[in-house]
Amino acid sequence: MAKGLVEAGAMVHCVDISPHADQAFERAKERVDPQYSGGFEYHRCDVSNDAEVSSVFREIAAKKQRLDGIIAAAGIQHVQSALDICTEDINRMLATNYTGVFLCARAAAREMFRYKIQGGSICLIASMSGIIANRGFIAPVYNSSKAAVIQLARNLAMEWGRVRADGSGGIRVNCLSPGHILTPMVEENLRKGEASRKEWENNSMLGRLSTPEEYKAAGLFLLSRASSFMTGQNLIIDGGTSAW
């Protein structure tokens, strides 16, 4: 999704908890075609830490005195039954998957209000797991954290949608809910035997998992004026898994 935005001319700031950008990020950065006016920058930040999130978003927005959009995508997975999971693991999951998304959306909105960016767009990454329990995959906290994100989008959309008297506001907030994507998170689930690839493929009407590239256009759609009348909604792209 970040690549799609850069190709459309955006300056994209990737924020992650790792101290340094990974190789995939560096490769993507090197490959940015000079014909595009956009580019990539990396920032380290723990999305569950309010002070860090506020400071990094303030710094990013100050560079060009604006912030037009955000995709809040940090998330973690934990496969354990509801009977066995301990309070620490429940809180750790929610701190990233719910509180982290909340803090990033709020920090982005504060910068949009500060610089009076009308038409700012916020995309929260939820999951099809926020609307269904994945058959046989035991992740009660992950799934309910994603349901909370979908409900959060509706409430933030309601709070920030109107243009205010001072010219600020007009911010749209939507969710993107993917199905199974072959990312390091899912590769880890498959490697540990927590999920069966065959079963996940069978659960999709298309009979396969998806790749990150298949969400590129959706990210561009949600962050651009192409979706200018869409807010408070949940765009589900899951190969039909939740449709039967």
Among 8, 14, 16, 39, binds ligand NAD (CB under 6 A): 16
* CA atoms of 81 and 236, how far apart (whole Å): 26
Question: How are beta strands 172-178 and 234-237 bridged, if at all?
Answer: parallel
**Which one of 3, 98, 146, 215 is the catalytic residue?**
146
The window from 1-9, 15-23, 106-114, 132-140 that contacts ligand NAD (CB under 6 A) reads 15-23
DSSP letters along 16-32, please?
Answer: ESSSS--HHHHHHHHT-
Q: Does 76 bind ligand NAD (CB under 6 A)?
A: yes
The window from 24-32, 33-41, 179-187, 221-229 that contacts ligand NAD (CB under 6 A) reads 179-187
Q: Closest approach of Cβ 61 to ligand NAD, in Å?
A: 18
Count each helix (H run) and each strand (E run) in the chain, helices first: 9, 6
**Which one of 3, 29, 98, 142 is the catalytic residue?**
142
Q: Does 148 bind ligand NAD (CB under 6 A)?
A: no
Q: Please, are residues 139 and 158 in contact by the beta-carbon 8 Å criterion?
A: no
Token pair in block for residue 182: 């072959």
Nearer to ligand NAD, 170 or 239 (CB): 239
Q: Which residues pair with 70 in a beta bridge?
A: 122
| Region for residue 3 given its phi and psi (left: phi exceeds 0; alpha: psi -120 to 50; beta: otherwise) | alpha
User: Crossing angle for the helix pair 50-64 and 101-114, nearest 10 degrees?
Assistant: 30
Q: Does 115 participate in catalysis according to the annotation?
A: no
Among 54, 55, 80, 96, binds ligand NAD (CB under 6 A): 96
Q: Give the number of residues in contact with ligand NAD, rule: CB under 6 A.
A: 21
Q: Does 130 bind ligand NAD (CB under 6 A)?
A: no
Q: Which helix (H) or strand (E) holds 54?
A: helix 50-64
Q: Does 75 bind ligand NAD (CB under 6 A)?
A: yes
Q: Does 125 bind ligand NAD (CB under 6 A)?
A: yes
Q: Closest approach of Cβ 51 to ligand NAD, in Å?
A: 13
Residue sitting closest to ligand NAD (CB): 75
Q: Does 198 participate in catalysis according to the annotation?
A: no
Residues in contact with 234: Cβ distance below 8 Å, sequence separation at least 6, in sequence order: 126, 130, 131, 150, 153, 174, 175, 176, 177
Nearer to ligand NAD, 70 or 117 (CB): 70
Q: Which helix (H) or strand (E) holds 187?
A: helix 184-191
Instruction: Give, as one character, the DSSP assignment of residue 134.
Output: P
Q: Please, are residues 200 and 194 in contact by the beta-carbon 8 Å criterion?
A: no
Q: Does 127 bind ligand NAD (CB under 6 A)?
A: yes
Among 46, 99, 231, 234, binds ligand NAD (CB under 6 A): 46
Catalytic positions are 142, 146
Positions touching ligand NAD (CB under 6 A) are 16-18, 46-48, 73-76, 96, 100, 125, 127, 178, 180-181, 183-186
